[in-house]
Structure 1
Amino acid sequence: MLTSERKTLIQQVLQRDGRIVAKSFAEELGVSEDTIRRDLRELAKDGLLQRVHGGALPSSPAVADYRAREQMASSAKEKLARAAATLIKPRQIVFLDGGTTNLQLARHLPQTLQATIITHSPSIAVELAHHPSVEVELIGGRLFKHSIVSMGAVSAEAISGIHADLFFLGATGIHPETGATTGNREEAAIKRLIARQCAETILVATEDKIGAASPYLILPLDKLATLVVDADLPDTLLKPYRAAGPAIVKV
């Protein structure tokens, strides 16, 4: 089998099974494990999968720039965000992470909701500027352009002084083995800090993020209180997520 054929097959198996185990896959094809590992390294370099110990997982599609991500699964994001907005109760203090799904959540907050929204996303702050009864606190710092959020020491210092009820986390992938992940180490650290300052962490995940992984861990599944997903996802797919701890809300 040619290298290009193996790589195509690897991507097909990842799409079908959600993971590749290098040793067993090599045995199945009758090639060395080193050959498969080399294929995985090259595919990972091209952003086509995420290598993990012993094999690989599907890579997250949420690696495009912010403008491109706004167009991805926009109707699904709107549906999930509309439902997630109902999880916020009056007078709660809520931290909204950056990201296009959470931007949709901000757009769908009820006009009668009285709450405090904290965010390090200028886009979300601007979206909420005209909300009649939501107080908005914007965290400053150095702008991370990929996600349009502030980061760095200034952001971390401000976040450390906050205690909030809910944190709506943004992630590029969530997988039973790797937990909630993202593509930037510093951004992952900021997200973990926010989670530590909030009583509950909620992740609203479109279908393309379920079963996908990025290089940097944000939180393991047992640190999530709630996972909001599409109602069409089969229970068999969601079983390992539910077993890990978070409540599953299907909408």
Structure 2
Amino acid sequence: MSSVSYLPEQRRSEILAILSRGEPVSAAELAVRFSVSEDAIRRDLRKLAAEGLCEKVYGGALPVSPSAQPYSSRAGEDRSRKEALATVALTLLMPRQCVFLDVGSTNALLAEMLPSNLDLTVVTNSVPVMAALMDRPGISLFALGGSVGGQAGGMTGAQAVSDMERYRFDLAFLGTCSLCPETGVTAFDGDDAEVKRAAARNSEKIAVMVTTDKLGARLPHKVLPMEQIDYLVSEGEAAQQPLHLYQTQNNQILTTANVDTNSVKEK
């Protein structure tokens, strides 16, 4: 318990510093730390959440992930960074693969960049991926059913999960809201997380593409642990989150800095 008396603004600044490191906060623990009531901490967290600085959850708060925004708001953000990730991801593709492309703005850019000479079969629950590939020669496109969510930008729910069981993927690119060494991939929405888990169950290999601002964040719904990820495509080292923390015995880490993108096949 701290003997220092904090003003509400000072408390919120300290709480925000913890969240900025990608760490969740507990109202009970913060109350002890600042020697105030849990009600006072909950008021602090509500104010931070109202300002868009955290994600309020039962018992505390989580760092804000870019994926908390509706798809339409984040589709055009950081396009050059996401294109660099997608360019690296293209090196993972082989002829005649069956590939799952999950919802997410980086996966949508990957769809735009897919070559037409690999005879790929693409299965997706993403509306933007469908739009990018529906008239593309050399690619067989299949779509999952389900309810369309504006935040996810595609189909989620029981129908999408049921449809997933009809396929077997060589490689699945999971849309990634957050990635943490301890919890792996996590998501904001439970239905979205369930679709991702179904894709992982039905795929030989799993790949995720993440910008550095998603590293270290933890969200409420578990998708899969780091040990089940085969390929992590990232921009490189991030403050407080060096990439060696994400290395497992089975995965391969590819970055935009150390992969020869000149070998990528053009459309």
TM-score band by shorter chain is: 0.7 to 0.9
Change (3 A) 1:110 1:119: same
- Tell me what 1:19 maps to: 23
Residue number among 157, 165, 176 corresponding to 1:160 in the alignment: 165
Residue number among 97, 100, 123 corresponding to 2:128 in the alignment: 123
Matched, 1:4 2:16: no
Residue number among 143, 155, 162 corresponding to 1:150 in the alignment: 155
Per-residue deviation, 1:38: 3.6
Measure, in 1, the Cα distance between the counterparts of 2:42 and 2:137. Answer: 56
Measure, in 1, the Cα distance between the counterparts of 2:251 and 2:57. Answer: 23
Secondary structure of 2:141's match? strand
Matched, 1:49 2:54: yes
Quick check: 2:8–2:44 contact (8 Å CA) kept in 1?
no
Measure, in 1, the Cα distance between the counterparts of 2:224 and 2:24. Answer: 23
Measure, in 2, the Cα distance between the counterparts of 1:24 and 1:41. Answer: 13
Segments of 5+ residues of structure 1 without an aligned counterpart are none
What does 1:183-194 align with in structure 2 at a 5 Å threshold? 183-194=188-199
Matched, 1:97 2:102: yes
Measure, in 2, the Cα distance between the counterparts of 1:210 and 1:199. Answer: 24
TM normalised by structure 1 equals 0.86
The amino acid across from 1:225 in the alignment is D
Change (3 A) 1:180 1:50: farther
Per-residue deviation, 1:118: 0.6
Secondary structure of 2:94's match? coil
Percent sequence identity over aligned pairs: 32
Secondary structure of 1:200's match? strand
Segments of 5+ residues of structure 2 without an aligned counterpart are 1-5, 257-267
Secondary structure of 1:62's match? helix
Quick check: 1:102–1:168 contact (8 Å CA) kept in 2?
yes
- Tell me what 1:134 maps to: 139
Change (3 A) 1:167 1:43: farther
The superposition leaves residues 131-158 of structure 1 with CA deviations (integer Å, 9 ceiling, x where unpaired) of 2211111112221222221123332221
Quick check: 1:40–1:49 contact (8 Å CA) kept in 2?
no
What does 1:24-43 align with in structure 2 at a 5 Å threshold? 31-32=35-36, 34=38, 38=42, 41-42=45-46
Measure, in 1, the Cα distance between the counterparts of 2:164 and 2:171. Answer: 14
- Tell me what 2:265 maps to: none
Per-residue deviation, 1:111: 3.1
Quick check: 2:49–2:55 contact (8 Å CA) kept in 1?
no
Measure, in 2, the Cα distance between the counterparts of 1:113 and 1:6. Answer: 55
Quick check: 1:3–1:39 contact (8 Å CA) kept in 2?
no
Alignment: residue pair count: 249
The amino acid across from 1:222 in the alignment is E
Quick check: 2:186–2:222 contact (8 Å CA) kept in 1?
yes
Matched, 1:170 2:175: yes
TM normalised by structure 2 equals 0.81
Matched, 1:205 2:227: no
Measure, in 1, the Cα distance between the counterparts of 2:62 and 2:71. Answer: 23
- Tell me what 2:118 maps to: 113
Quick check: 1:225–1:246 contact (8 Å CA) kept in 2?
yes
